[in-house]
Amino acid sequence: MRRNKYNAQICEADGQRFRSKKERNYYLRLKEMQSNGEILYFWSQVCFRLTGGIKYYVDFMVHYPNGDLRFIDVKGHKTQVYKLKKKLVEAETPYKIEEV
C-alpha cells in the first residue's frame, strides 16, 4: 500500500481503510472495549460542518455507558490545517477534541 508524506501507512481492518496503523490499532482497541462493555458504541469519521462550509472529520466518536461522549483524533503529526479546524470545532460546538 502507498505511504503518505508523513510516513503513515494506509491499512485495513474489518473491510475499513485507515489512514495509519495507529488509527487502525485504536479502532481495534475500541472494538475490544465495546465487547467488554467499557463503551456502548463508537462511530468513525464523524463530520462536523463548520462556518464557511468547512468540514472537519474526527476519527472517532465514542459513547460510554454513563452517557459521556468523547471525540477522539488519532494523531502522529499535527498540521496547521488540523490545528485550525480543531480550534473551529471547539469554538463552534460544546465539544472538545481529544488527541491520542
More confident residue, 71 or 8: 71
One-letter amino acid at 99 equals: E
| 9, pLDDT greater than 90 | no
Cell digits of residue 89: 470545532
| 14, pLDDT greater than 90 | no
pLDDT of residue 8: 73
Which residues make Cβ contacts (< 8 Å) with residue 18, sequence separation at least 6?
10, 11, 12, 24, 27
Cell digits of residue 94: 460544546
d(CA 87, CA 56): 11
Distance, CA of 72 to chain centre: 5
d(CA 71, CA 47): 11
